[in-house]
Amino acid sequence: MNFSIARKKMVHDQVIARGVSDRRVLDSMLHIPRHIFVQEAFAAQAYSDTALPIGEKQTISQPYIVALMSEMLALNGTEKVLEIGTGSGYQTAILATLAERVFSAERIRPLALRARKCLDSLKLFNVQLRINDTEGSPIGWEEEAPFDAIIVTAGAPSVPDILTDQLAPGGRLVIPVGSDTDQQLVKVIKRDNGELERCASIDCRFVPLIGKQGWRA
């Protein structure tokens, strides 16, 4: 299988065709090899229009969702970004090419360790990973706040205050919000006066965000 051709086709047929137009996002998805972030048995499906299992009952998001969420963050390369839910590390890698620094938290240790290897193999050294595997650890990364952008790649029952509190003025938070099986993508912008503006995008389906302002494990 020619992965480079599959990647071009993915960006054209799944991402551009559905209206994502941020050139930096498209270039990043053309460049980052998605197949190294999935288990070997799924490598041939890595560029398919679907989420895939990554072990530990978790999934790597569908390519279009990665593109859309990345575009919604409106990054120009200067930002400090927080990601909750490293998972495979694929979205993390895309963010690493779009922003200056990325902080990514994951609660399942083996996933974080595998993601670290993949990111290192691509020499994406502007990413810091953290493992939040103790019961009740707070969502977010308070010591590194504020962030210009925050992305949550697991579904939450509501927008956690603990995350909007970690946004810089002008910052954007993108998060799936809804039930534990079906959500809507929500973007929250923190205005310079601290007010929060919220708008909703498409319906989506993520694994649950676990924690105090998420769901129970």
Is 150 an interacting residue with respect to ligand SAH (CB under 6 A)? no
Which one of 14, 28, 59, 97 is in contact with ligand SAH (CB under 6 A)?
59
Is 214 an interacting residue with respect to ligand SAH (CB under 6 A)? yes
Catalytic residue among 61, 70, 88, 104: 61
**Contacts of residue 170, Cβ cutoff 8 Å, sequence gap at least 6:** 148, 189, 190, 191, 192
**What is the smallest separation between the CB atom of 208 and ligand SAH, expressed in angstroms?**
7
157/85 Cα distance (integer angstroms): 15
Closer by beta carbon to ligand SAH, 49 or else 197: 49
DSSP letters, 13-56, are IIIITTT---HHHHHHHHHS-GGGGS-GGGGGGTTSSS-EEEET
Which one of 20, 32, 60, 99 is in contact with ligand SAH (CB under 6 A)?
60
The interaxial angle of helices 90-98 and 109-121, nearest 10 deg, is 50
50/46 Cα distance (integer angstroms): 9
Contact between 117 and 61 (Cβ < 8 Å):
no
**What is the smallest separation between the CB atom of 153 and ligand SAH, expressed in angstroms?**
3
Q: Token digits for 111?
A: 């996933």
* Count of chain residues binding ligand SAH (CB under 6 A): 25
Which one of 154, 173, 186, 188 is in contact with ligand SAH (CB under 6 A)?
154
Burial classification of residue 184, based on how many CB atoms lie within 10 Å of its CB (0-12 exposed, 13-18 middle, 19 or more buried): middle
Q: Is 61 a catalytic residue?
A: yes
Closer by beta carbon to ligand SAH, 2 or else 57: 57
Is 108 an interacting residue with respect to ligand SAH (CB under 6 A)? yes
Binding site for ligand SAH (CB under 6 A): 54, 58-61, 84-85, 87-88, 90-91, 105-108, 111, 132, 139, 153-154, 207, 209-211, 214
